[in-house]
Every structure is written in structure tokens, then in C-alpha cells.
Amino acid sequence: MEQYKQEFIEFMIDCEVLKFGDFVTKSGRKTPFFVNTGFYRTGTQLRKLGEYYARAIYNKFGLDFDVLFGPAYKGIPLTVAATIAISEHYGKDIRYCSNRKEIKDHGDKGILLGSPIQDGDRVVIIEDVTTAGTSIQETLPIIKAQGNVVPAGLVVSVDRMERGQGEKSALQEIHDIYGLETTAIVTMAEVVERLYNRPYKGKVIIDDALKSAIDAYYEKYGV
């Protein structure tokens, strides 16, 4: 595993973003693990998060896009942090854009905040995590309504590696249905590889019992 991936897994643990227990995903699945980027709460944490996203984006898409789009609300700080990191580390001034939950009818009007999306723009979407691909169904119509634009890709922090609406993985379905290239900073397989029966700061985070629960989850929802 690449060093930055291992560091990112540990970073999620330190920030309490990656948690283990009993949770329910947006798609209604009961899961023994959960990723909540809302727990990145300081400037230092967001700066580091932006750097991890920037590396994943650069490794997959290079700099061949114009706008980084972060769906409201969690996508807003993600897109800001990542565009700053891309500027600092790769020297490309990518525009950022997010949507509002409600259309604003005064001042800076419309459904978007940040940069407008223009005809010909190549847009990469940034999200925290995709379980069943439901959020993309809401996001793409907003982007496509802005003009003749090209949704070029999707980047998430963690690939949960589970089925979407059918038998393929959520990220594979997104690729097949919408033509979006997808990538993640890390996969859940890499998370398990790093944490299973390997102490981190003196504690084993994924022990045999938790590993069994994760395996059972993938028996039901895995691909």
C-alpha cells in the first residue's frame, strides 16, 4: 500500500471520521463502518484532507478539467480544500463550485455558489463517500442544467466496495450509467488491510469480531 494511503487511513481514525459500530447508510443499509467527513473540523484537518484529495484527483485525472464541484452541504468544504491544494501542489488554478439546497432569488442569484459552470467546462465531482450511487442521481442534473458541460469524473474519500442498485459496485455502476471515471483516496479493502489486528497508537481497531462483522456485511452487499 502506498504510504499516503496508510497515512490517510490513520488520519481518518485520528479525526474520528472513520468509525466502527452500528450505523445506517443514506441508502438504508445497516453497516459496521461509517465515514463522516463532517468530523473534519479544523483548518489543519481540512488542509491535510485537501492534499489527500488533490493527490487522488491528480493521479486519476491529471489537471485536464476546469471545475471541481462539491454537492451541498458536505461537498462545499471538500471542494474548497481540494482546489486550494491543487493550486499549491500542482500549480493549476481550478475553479470550485457547489450547489445550494434552495435557489437564491436575490443578490448572488441562482442555485450555484462559487464559480459559474460554463459551456465546454470539464467538471469533476468530489464527494465524501458513495454507497449506492443515489447522490449522483441528484447532482448530475444540476451540473448538466448549466449548459453544454462535460461531467468528467467522480472522486470520493473511501470506496466502500459494495453493490449499488444492481449487482455491480456503486462506482462501477456510476461509470457504466453516466460515463464517469471514478476514483477514491482509499478502498475499504485497504482500510481493513491496514487496521486488521495491527495496533495503531497501542490499540487494535479491527479485531476478529469486527472483521467478522465486516465480512458478513460484504457477504450481503459486496460484489
Q: Which active-site residues does the annotation give?
A: 104, 106
Closest CA to 154 of 188, 132, 183: 183
**Residues in the chain, overall count:** 223
Rounded to whole angstroms, the Cα distance separating 210 from 94 reads 41
**Continuous segment of H or E residues that includes residue 23:** strand 18-24
Neighbours of 184 (CB within 10 A): 22
Residue 127, CA distances (Å) to 73, 90, 120 in order: 10, 21, 22
Which residues lie below 8 Å from residue 107, measured CB to CB, with a gap of 6+? none
